[in-house]
Structure 1
Amino acid sequence: MNVHSPVTTPADELRANVSVPFEAAKAMPRSVYASPDFLALELEHIFAKEWICAGRTDALKNPGDYLTMEIAGEPIIVLRDRDGALRAMSNVCRHRMSTLLEGRGNTRAIVCPYHAWTYNLDGSLRGAPAMGQNESFCKTEVKLPAVRCEEWLGFIMVTLDPDTPPPSETLAEAEAMIAHLDLASYSETFRENHVWDTNWKVLAENFMESYHLPVCHRETIGGSTDIDEMVCPEGTEAFNWHTILRNDAVPLALAHPSDTRLTGDQRRTTWLFAIYPSLMISITPGYFWYLSLHPEGPGKVRILFGGGMSAPYMADPQAPAQLATVKAMLDHVNAEDRGCTERVYRGLLSRLADPGALSHLERPNFEFAQYVSRKVNGAG
């Protein structure tokens, strides 16, 4: 009699991977990065249900300002309406289902590029040419479906799920940790879109641990960090975090001399938050930057990369030069991270690759793996 071992899926492998104590933890299995079937589970159970960051509210200052995005294949418009409120809605025409807007811009109305059906900024249909002879057509009954949209600490958060709890609830603990920095008052000065040849989780994990800083970032910020001073506490089911105490090798990471609100180590502490599933935020007393990630396939990730400066630095007469310095440094850091994360993805595709033991500095990675496992395995 032939005895066949049960078929093991990537989700099963991940469940087993995270079932051990952290002290015995290993990196996630290769399959959860490379499998198209596992990505389909992530899109269904994570990206279609969680809050995804569309950027900062700075991007939509005026009525009619809009941006477009996709979440789990769903085209979405986010805009500032005539009353100054943030709204999100379907970016698909209710006529023949063309997508409506592209990129970013400002508009008085949403006009379909196919047949010129025109929608108000609240999504209601304003006009539809040559529809008067269709007796079933009623203009007042046509409206672009609304999508949930909320602001959190200056970030625009969007979800397709009508029932997921609001960020103000699930992220209240994170908000309290950095209340002294007043992140909502930081100004966004750049916003870019990139696509890298790696898995979205590889890039997320790279952000979550600073174990790699001295080596991967030896030409930039690696020397500003002492890994012996890093703190990697336990996270929550909604986020993980750690802090870094900076020295003056990255001076703009320290509080501005005029910023008297911050004292002691508050003036040199960098906070790194991984807001599940895919918003990564680095906050210093001087500047911040963030990544909002969305998979384009197992081996490609779409990245929204933005950042800017705290209010005291923005008020400094030297702000333009300081901004240029920060942006040049962050671009260099990004290039280093791209090299590291793309090498990881190429490596994990190897048949000889095998996940190794995690350092105590990689606790956030293990917690992230637990989060992904809970979602794809229907445990929360």
Structure 2
Amino acid sequence: MTTHDPALGPAAASALAELRANVADAFERARAMPKSVYTSPDFAAAEQRHIFARDWLCAGRADALKEPGDYLTMQIAGEPVIILRDRDGALRGMSNVCRHRMSTLLEGRGHVRAITCPYHAWTYNLDGTLRGAPAMTLNEGFCKDAIRLPQIRVVNWLGWVLVTLDPDAPDPATRLKPVEDLVGYLDMSTYTETFREDFRWATNWKVLAENFMESYHLPACHAGTIGGSCDLALMTCPEGDPAFNYHWIVKNDTVPLALAHPANTTLTGDQRRITWLLAIYPSLLITLTPGYFWYLCLTPDGPGHVNVTFGGGMSADWMADPEATANLAAVKALLDRVNIEDKGCTERVYRGLCANLSSPGPLSHLERPNFEFARYIADMMPEA
């Protein structure tokens, strides 16, 4: 999947060469990724061009956009994007930049009947066609019917809103079919999102992604929350897929809401207590349990910061429970505490990456997903 990029500067080319040398070795001799792939501004810029502008990214959950006119906004490799539910009930993606003097149009999340530019009040329908433009009758070249917001590919994959700037990117339903084969028995599309929020951490996006991908850190980093809910000896980290990596944890009863609902008679055996950790490349990270789910969507902000969308909710069984409100509050309180712990761990890693005396060490067998992720990064980046 590599391409040639004449704009790849010396620093990015050097970092890429280090990374490729790193992943060329067998996993049994693997080391953590070179420091330069986290700290180089040139490498971060190349990631925007060759990863975030080309692959499928997650905008959140489809059930968060319930009614026509419900929308959210995001940035993809510096491109402002609107995702909304159109008048026919379909998900639609389009440029968030007015076709007049190029002001951005919408901010955050919300509901609109039409998209009106805050600068000169040019107004667009929910399909992106221009509805009206004040005081344009004297411009002989103006043709309202010829103006439309550029459209962007959006799909609903198992309840996730996936979007890409690349018109030729392979369809995620085909590319991610192995994910369905693994966790289809839980049917992610039936889980309900109950919260979503955004924050910014002082670390590289890959540090946070890798933190999610391995559970080796749970006993130490999460000693105050979920660290005691799993046994590292029972953890399996299989070889990854080109589009994602995964592992699972067999949970004990420490966190009851992570288990199948007592009234659920469909799930049997370990299905009732397995927690899946799915890393959909490049930046959708999903924790899926029989009881609840939570996710992170990562957007790089230079080498040293990452913008994070954090959301989650519960399975249909637990949502129907008479104590659903209290259960939801308990899940959210637990996850907030877990996030505080992860923030501390990942920001400390980035500070260490920037230290002169630091160097990457060997990986545990429990960090195979990190090695698979490094291979994905190397494969997506261009030939120097």
Pairwise TM-score range, normalised by the shorter structure: over 0.9
Residue 281 in 1 paired to residue 290 in 2? Answer: no
Residue equivalent to 2:24: 19
Following superposition, the deviation at residue 175 of structure 1 comes to 1.2
Equivalent position of 1:347 in the other structure: 352
* Alignment partner of 1:321 out of 323, 326, 340: 326
Give the letter for the 2:333 counterpart: A
2:216 maps to what in 1? 211
Q: Aligned to 1:202, what secondary structure does the other structure show?
A: helix
Are 1:56 and 2:61 matched, yes or no? yes
Aligned sequence identity (%) = 68
Indicate the SS of the match to 2:301.
strand
- Following the alignment from structure 1 to structure 2, what is the Cα–Cα distance between the partners of residues 242 and 277? 16
Structure 2: which 5+ runs fail to align? Answer: 1-9
User: Does residue 223 of structure 1 match 2:228?
Assistant: yes
In the alignment, which residue of structure 1 is the partner of 2:14?
9
The amino acid of 1:71's aligned partner reads I
Counterpart amino acid of residue 279 in structure 2:
A
Report how far residue 377 of structure 1 moved: 3.2
| Deviations, residues 357-376 of structure 1 (Å, cap 9, x unaligned) | 00000000001001001111
Aligned partners of 1:255, 1:61: CA distance in 2, in Å? Answer: 27
Question: Do residues 333 (structure 1) and 338 (structure 2) align?
Answer: yes
Q: Which residue of 2 aligns with 1:124?
A: 129
The counterpart of 1:66, out of the listed 68, 71, 74, is 71
1:195 aligns with: 200
Counterpart of 1:140 in structure 2: which amino acid?
Answer: D
Kindly provide the amino acid, as one letter, of the partner of residue 373 in structure 2.
F
SS at match of 1:297: coil
Aligned to 1:151: 156
RMSD: 1.1
Match of 1:9, SS state, is: helix
- 3-state DSSP of counterpart to 1:108: coil
> In 1, Cα distance between the equivalents of 2:266 and 2:95?
42
Whole-angstrom distance in 1 between the partners of 2:290 and 2:361: 35
Residue 176 of structure 1 deviates from its aligned partner by: 1.6
Establish whether residue 76 from structure 1 lines up as the match of residue 81 from structure 2.
yes
Tell me the distance in 2 between the aligned counterparts of 1:101 and 1:375.
31
> What displacement does 1:166 show?
1.2
Gaps of 5+ in 1: 1-5
The one-letter amino acid of 2:341's match is E
Matched, 1:363 2:371: no
Inter-partner Cα distance in structure 2 for 1:199 and 1:244: 26
Aligned-residue offset at 1:183: 0.8
Partner of 1:90: 95
1:292 counterpart residue number: 297
After superposition, give the CA deviation of every residue in 1:272-301 in whole Å (9 maximum; x if it has no partner).
Answer: 000000000000000000000010110000
